[in-house]
Structure 1
């Protein structure tokens, strides 16, 4: 599987400028999500096509479908412990189940605290909407999604929920040069489109 890419400025014209959107590269088979790790974890996953070694299945692990949000979070792969950027080709049905089980990380519905605490403790998929960012890290009006996985929803990282794991660190490094030189007309980013969600998912995602 090869990551599909497109000129950043061309994509910028196509993306919504505001609202909550799951920008992602996807097909009927998979949805691409990104994570950044230290070399011992990232290289193991890419070489073995599953997560293991120093990876902890006892902690919550966050995925991001939006490449530029991941670049903001990892400093374009320069932050300590986030040097290796992975593109995870998640099985489409696995990703759909994640969305259908998502629970906001903050009490957006104003529930009583004890009820909220009980629900958030029981959920295995956490949802956050954060400001998206441009290549230089400036906040955008559009909101980007990140999803925290644990327990039963993280177990598929052992292999069954992932079609492919690709180390795209070299691609990230090459594109970082254009950002640093402010040559955004040369910047190439993964092709991303608004992912369709069901009515049930929209309720879970607070869209």
Structure 2
């Protein structure tokens, strides 16, 4: 059975989400502690609380345009607002009465949610599902200006973990992973995000 849960590095007030960018966007963001040009507010940006999912996606910061891995700390208030305004990227019958209802919701949704297979340290897919949250241009100003409380460059740590894995030192690599635990959600969000089988 597939497991739908949000695992994240969070505290009482904030949660860490991860993004990978090229240096032209990543370096100014880290220097400013927030997203500044050339970061685009006119296109959807995807945020992910799963570190290993992003490592699989970015090739451990090895893919073009994804050379910098950023840990973006945002308010839990903002995170949960995004989830409340989200529509799933597919018409899950457990959530939407029919495809027409889903299509109508998608037209005006400022946020999209997609569930993808979680990854192991070596990149293999797990039965657990990991959430990806897409912020459209209609809400991205709130993310960049109001929710973001800090941006950290994790690229050196990512490279160290990657190198340890290449050396076959998996235990040492695992010890450097960011802490992640199950993020608690109110029941209405569990249902609206399709997390209940």
- Matched-pair contact (CA < 8 Å) for 2:14–2:74: yes
Alignment-derived partner of residue 19 in structure 1: 3
84, 90, 94: which one pairs with 2:68? 84
Q: Distance in 2 between matches of 1:50 and 1:121?
A: 29
Alignment-derived partner of residue 145 in structure 1: 131
The yes-or-no answer on 1:100 pairing with 2:88 is no
- Please report the RMSD computed on the Cα atoms of aligned residues, expressed in angstroms: 1.6
- Matched-pair contact (CA < 8 Å) for 2:28–2:36: yes
Q: Distance in 1 between matches of 2:59 and 2:172?
A: 19
The yes-or-no answer on 1:123 pairing with 2:93 is no
Alignment-derived partner of residue 49 in structure 1: 33
182, 188, 192: which one pairs with 2:180? 192
Aligned ranges for residues 65-84 of structure 1 at < 5 Å? 65-84=49-68
- Matched-pair contact (CA < 8 Å) for 1:84–1:167: yes
Secondary structure of 1:51 counterpart: coil
What does the per-residue CA deviation read over 1:37-96, in whole Å, with 9 as the maximum and x for residues that have no partner?
Answer: 010101111111221212111111000001000100100000000001000100111111
- Matched-pair contact (CA < 8 Å) for 2:34–2:149: no
Gaps of 5+ in 2: none
Gaps of 5+ in 1: 1-16
Large movers: runs of 4+ above 6 Å:
none
Deviation for aligned residue 1:160: 1.7
Secondary structure of 1:201 counterpart: helix
- Matched-pair contact (CA < 8 Å) for 1:101–1:204: no
Deviation for aligned residue 1:100: 1.5
Q: Distance in 2 between matches of 1:168 and 1:156?
A: 23
Alignment-derived partner of residue 155 in structure 1: 141
Q: Distance in 1 between matches of 2:51 and 2:57?
A: 10
- TM normalised by structure 2 equals 0.91
Q: Distance in 1 between matches of 2:57 and 2:144?
A: 24
Q: Distance in 2 between matches of 1:115 and 1:96?
A: 23
Moved more, 106-115 or 184-193: 106-115
